[in-house]
């Protein structure tokens, strides 16, 4: 669940008040949080954004994140290669996060579509593409209940759906329940993002075809190291070359690898999974 | 005597020109709207029923695939859990209270039932029974805080909502119990998700459960002393007490029954979601209040039919499904639900004018 913005502002304020050396934050409103973040930095606090970059990205001292666009792109490419020639006739359902469309939502959604070879028009906007292969977008709140309801509604709009993108693995599990109740679970390819342990097990069981695994624990430990370093001698963490943030990496996890898209096995995914 | 009367003349004679009609109440001309107002005052469930029929007809015209037995039964599946919670919520609101904790109780109980069966290896029926006791316990806690500590229901349940949410995350370790694990180790927990067909309609036992709960509550509220006490307390607690009703005891029992219904919702929700998910249904408490209000139960207590909230929940489901099938952006669902609430309460106020 995503926390709310107001609570995060209060949390940052109490960190400043308590004289903290550094703050790790996964912003729920990436634009609005920047004011209080600036306050913190003016007070000499090192602010590191985890998982979700702030907007603009240099509002934080450093960002330890996974490339969410890349995560989406990988599952898009995998789905396209798995379908082969049938990709031309794909019927795609997009299960997003929330009506407010935070940046993680946009990046994964647009990354997937680009990876699948669909013209995404404005890459900051969900749902502006006009490719007829996209049946529709719906929101899931990132949980099983929302995933199921959203999938049911999209299937009602077009029962021929055969590719399902999901924002995360809980919503993928919900979508699978809906497909099962429609008797379609065998004919549909589900892809997702996260790489949590229940999600990787769902690949093993054939519920999800592939997922882009991210490493939130690595983000956190790198973040803590950076703050310790800063407190010791004032050195700032450096971003990965060519990127505006320190990339903690993303791997495609699947048991059905395809040519041209690098992936790791489910076993390796299970060894590195979290949650 | 008769002689005197005759001498004083015929008394009746003066009545000759008077009105000969039988005594009657003066008939006010009500006009069309007046008649509608009177009709709705007499049968409060008719407002949501009419709204439901109109919206089904309207979406049938504009949204493709909407008007089919399959889609309409799908809507029933989608609203079943919120509908059951709305039943619990209605009981509390009829006593002029409110229960903000219903959804948190439900999710916590589903986690308790799931973890006890899967992690602790307790036989599933026993885990379910423990879940029901926990549900009753949460209700008794709410009820005692309202009656003994004399906290307003809003404050009480605002507090326990947070407490139960925290316990939910504690018990669940924030982890989902997967669908496959439940299939293998505790299939009984998913029994309310099982489907059966009637013609083209596909229903789940969860839908049957919802209808059954409302039917039982309708009987209890209208045909038993306890039910009449609930209405009496909601209408005027002091008057009810003066009439000899043990109001505190009844109130605690109302919250307890609401807690037990939340436990039923928890069991049904596992079937609906497929897994035990500590993050699902976080908006369901407000959705249950929405259903109750659209269903025509007065937030001031003591007025409204228990069947209204079920129809209220279905109306929200119809709007969500219809708007999504019409390809409208999701934000307009929120917009539509908002106006439904406002219009429902406005109509309720208009109907109530009759009694003043």
Query: At residue A26, does pLDDT exceed 90?
Result: no
Tell me how far apart the alpha carbons of residues A195 and A176 are, in angstroms, rounded to a whole number.
Answer: 17
Q: What is the CATH number of the domain that holds B308?
A: 1.10.3470
ipTM exceeding 0.85, yes/no: no
Assess whether A130 and A257 both reside in one domain.
yes
8 Å CB contact of A176 and B274: yes
Residue B111 included in any domain: yes
Residue B99 included in any domain: yes
pLDDT band at A247 (very low <50, low <70, confident <90, very high): confident
8 Å CB contact of B321 and A156: yes
Contact residues, chain B to chain A, C-beta under 8 Å: 64-65, 71, 74, 77-78, 81, 174-176, 178-180, 193, 195, 202, 269, 272-275, 277, 279-283, 320-321, 324-325, 327, 329-331, 334
pTM of the model: 0.84
Q: Which domain holds residue B224?
A: 48-58+69-351
Average pLDDT, chain B: 90
CB B124 within 8 A of CB B189: yes
Tally the domains of chain A.
2
Tally the domains of chain B.
1
**Which residues of A are less than 8 Å from B176 in CB distance?**
144, 170, 173, 198
CA distance B98 to chain A (A): 24
Q: If you measure CA to CA, which chain A residue comes closest to B274?
A: A177
pLDDT score for A63: 87
Tell the burial category of B42 from Cβ atoms under 10 Å away from its Cβ (0-12, 13-18, 19+). Answer: exposed
Contact residues, chain A to chain B, C-beta under 8 Å: 1, 99, 127, 136, 138-139, 141-146, 148-149, 152-153, 156-157, 170, 173-174, 176-177, 180-181, 198, 201-202, 205, 207, 275
Assess whether A91 and A203 both reside in one domain.
yes
Q: Which domain holds residue A13?
A: 5-66+215-249
Assess whether A186 and A128 both reside in one domain.
yes
Which range, of B70-79, B268-277, B336-345, averages the lowest pLDDT? B336-345
Q: How do residues B282-321 score in pLDDT, each as one tens digit?
A: 889 999 999 999 998 988 888 889 999 999 999 999 998 8
Q: Find the CB nearest A156 among B74, B275, B334.
A: B74
Q: What is the CATH number of the domain that holds A132?
A: 3.40.50.2300
Assess whether A108 and A162 both reside in one domain.
yes
**Which residues of B are less than 8 Å from A204 in CB distance?**
none
What are phi and psi for residue B306, nearest 5 degrees?
-65, -25
The more confidently predicted of residues B215 and A51 is B215
pLDDT band at A54 (very low <50, low <70, confident <90, very high): confident
Residue B90 included in any domain: yes
Tell me how far apart the alpha carbons of residues A19 and A45 are, in angstroms, rounded to a whole number.
Answer: 8
Q: Which two tokens stand for residue A26?
A: 């996964």
Instruction: Specify the pairing of strand A250-253 against strand A210-214.
Output: antiparallel
Tell me how far apart the alpha carbons of residues B94 and B250 are, in angstroms, rounded to a whole number.
Answer: 12
Assess whether A159 and A201 both reside in one domain.
yes
Assess whether A243 and A260 both reside in one domain.
no
Q: Find the CB nearest A198 among B178, B283, B321.
A: B178
């Amino acid at each position: 669940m995503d926390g709310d913005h107001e609570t995060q502002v209060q949390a940052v304020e109490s960190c400043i008040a308590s004289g903290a050396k550094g703050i790790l934050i996964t912003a729920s409103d990436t634009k609005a949080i920047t004011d209080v973040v600036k306050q913190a930095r003016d007070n000499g606090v090192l602010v590191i954004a985890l998982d979700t970059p702030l907007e603009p990205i240099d509002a934080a001292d450093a960002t330890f994140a996974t490339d969410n666009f890349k995560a989406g792109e990988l599952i898009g490419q995998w789905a396209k290669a798995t379908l082969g020639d049938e990709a031309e006739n794909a019927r795609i359902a997009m299960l997003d996060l929330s009506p407010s469309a935070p940046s993680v939502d946009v990046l994964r959604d647009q990354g997937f579509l680009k990876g699948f070879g669909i013209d995404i028009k404005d890459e900051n906007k969900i749902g502006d593409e006009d490719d007829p292969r996209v049946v529709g977008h719906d929101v899931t709140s990132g949980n099983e209940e929302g995933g199921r309801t959203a999938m049911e509604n999209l299937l009602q709009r077009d029962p021929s759906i055969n590719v399902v993108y999901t924002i995360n693995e809980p919503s993928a599990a919900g979508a699978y329940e809906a497909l099962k109740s429609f008797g379609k679970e065998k004919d549909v390819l589900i892809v997702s993002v996260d790489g949590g342990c229940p999600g990787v097990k769902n690949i093993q069981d054939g519920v999800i075809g592939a997922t882009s695994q991210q490493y939130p624990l690595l983000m956190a430990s790198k973040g803590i190291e950076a703050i310790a370093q800063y407190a010791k001698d004032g050195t700032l963490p450096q971003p990965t070359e060519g990127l505006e943030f320190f990339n903690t990496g993303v791997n495609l996890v699947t048991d059905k690898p395809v040519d041209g898209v690098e992936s790791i096995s489910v076993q390796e995914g299970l060894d590195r999974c979290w949650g | 005597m008769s002689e005197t009367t005759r001498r004083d003349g015929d008394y009746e004679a003066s009545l000759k020109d008077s009105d000969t009609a039988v005594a009657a109440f003066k008939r006010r001309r009500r006009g069309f709207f007046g008649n509608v107002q009177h009709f709705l005052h007499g049968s409060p469930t008719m407002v949501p029923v009419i709204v439901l029929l109109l919206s089904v007809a309207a979406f049938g015209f504009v949204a493709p695939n909407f008007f089919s037995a399959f889609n309409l039964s799908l809507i029933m599946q989608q609203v079943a859990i919120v509908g059951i919670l709305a039943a619990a919520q209605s009981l509390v609101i009829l006593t002029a209270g409110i229960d903000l904790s219903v959804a948190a109780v439900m999710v916590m109980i589903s986690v308790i039932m799931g973890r006890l069966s899967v992690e602790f290896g307790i036989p599933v029926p026993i885990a379910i029974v423990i879940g029901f006791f926990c549900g009753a316990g949460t209700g008794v806690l709410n009820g005692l805080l309202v009656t003994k500590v004399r906290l307003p229901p809003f404050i009480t349940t605002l507090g326990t909502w947070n407490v139960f949410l925290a316990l939910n995350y504690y018990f669940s370790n924030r982890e989902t119990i997967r669908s496959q694990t439940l299939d293998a180790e505790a299939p009984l927990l998913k029994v309310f998700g099982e489907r059966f067909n009637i013609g083209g309609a596909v229903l789940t036992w969860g839908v049957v459960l919802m209808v059954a709960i409302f039917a039982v509550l309708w009987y209890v509220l209208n045909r038993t002393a306890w039910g009449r006490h609930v209405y009496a307390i909601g209408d005027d607690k002091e008057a009810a007490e003066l009439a000899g009703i043990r109001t505190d005891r009844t109130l605690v029992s109302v919250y307890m029954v609401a807690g037990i219904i939340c436990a039923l919702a928890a069991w049904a929700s596992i079937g609906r979601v497929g897994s035990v998910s500590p993050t699902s249904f976080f908006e369901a408490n407000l959705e249950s209040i929405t259903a109750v209000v659209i269903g025509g139960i007065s937030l001031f207590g003591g007025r409204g039919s228990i069947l209204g909230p079920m129809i209220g929940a279905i109306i929200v489901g119809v709007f969500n499904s219809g708007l999504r099938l019409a390809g409208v952006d999701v934000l307009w669902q929120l917009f539509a639900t908002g106006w439904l609430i406002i219009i429902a309460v406005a109509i309720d106020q208009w109907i109530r004018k009759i009694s003043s």
